[in-house]
Every structure is written in C-alpha cells, then in structure tokens.
Amino acid sequence: MMSEIENPVSVAIVELKVEPAYLRLSRETRAEKWQMMQGIIRAHPGMSVTWNDADAFSGECSDFVICRFQSMFDYHCMWEELKDSELFTTPYFHITRVLIGMENAFEAYDEKLGIDV
C-alpha cells in the first residue's frame, strides 16, 4: 500500500479548442489525423490518455484530454511531440487551459507524517 501512495499518480486535464480549419477537413482526413495522434500517444507508454468531446456541452472548450502519468517529464515529452505535429502547427487545435493535480496526494503526505489513512 505504501509504494502506491508514496508516488501519487498525476492527472492533467488539457482543454482544447478546435479550429475551423480542422472542421473543414473531410471525416476521412480527420480520421487520418486521429490515427497519427494516436501513434504519438502510443509512443509514450507511461501515459494514459482519454480524449473527450465537449463542444456540444461547453462553450469554453471543444475537447478535453485527461492524462494520467507518474512522470511529469513523460507528460511533457508527449505534449511536445503533439505540439510539433500538424494538429497544433497548422493549427487545427489550440490549448485553452490545463489543470494538473495529484490523485489523493494528501494521503501520501499524511502517511509521510505517520498518520494512518
């Protein structure tokens, strides 16, 4: 139990806004871009990533990505590669906000203090 809490999982919620240039692409072309992006994500096995559509539910962002990771550097490297791709250089998407936290980090801190959680 201690080893899991000792190094809490970090979570980032990355809010994105889709650009009109992406929406003008055919569905087939968008599927190709999606596969390219999935390849980048798979190249970072330390990352767990889920992509969520939000445009029908929010005026703030069109999509949000939930990233779970142990290493901030793994997270950084994946996003550097994504930002170097045409998804961001064209641009088809831009990042509007990022929230980062640690799952139940208070438990790890309490355990460090010797408090039974």
Q: Which residue has the higher pLDDT, 58 or 34?
A: 34
Superfamily of domain 2-112 in CATH is: Apc35880; domain 1 (3.30.70.1030)
Q: Are β-strands 10-18 and 93-102 bridged in parallel, bridged antiparallel, or unpaired?
A: antiparallel
The count of C-alpha atoms lying within 13 angstroms of the C-alpha of 72, restricted to the half-sphere facing its C-beta, is 5
- Domains in the chain: boundaries: 2-112
What pLDDT, in 10s, does the model give residues 35-76? 999 999 999 999 999 999 998 887 789 999 999 999 999 999
Residues 6+ apart with CB under 8 A from 30: 22
CB atoms within 10 A of CB 67: 21
Under the banding of pLDDT at 50, 70 and 90, the label for residue 117 is confident
Mean pLDDT of 14-24: 96
- Which of 19, 20, 11, 31 minimizes the C-alpha distance to 88? 19
What pLDDT, in 10s, does the model give residues 97-109? 999 999 999 988 8
Dist CA 47 CA 85 (whole Å): 18
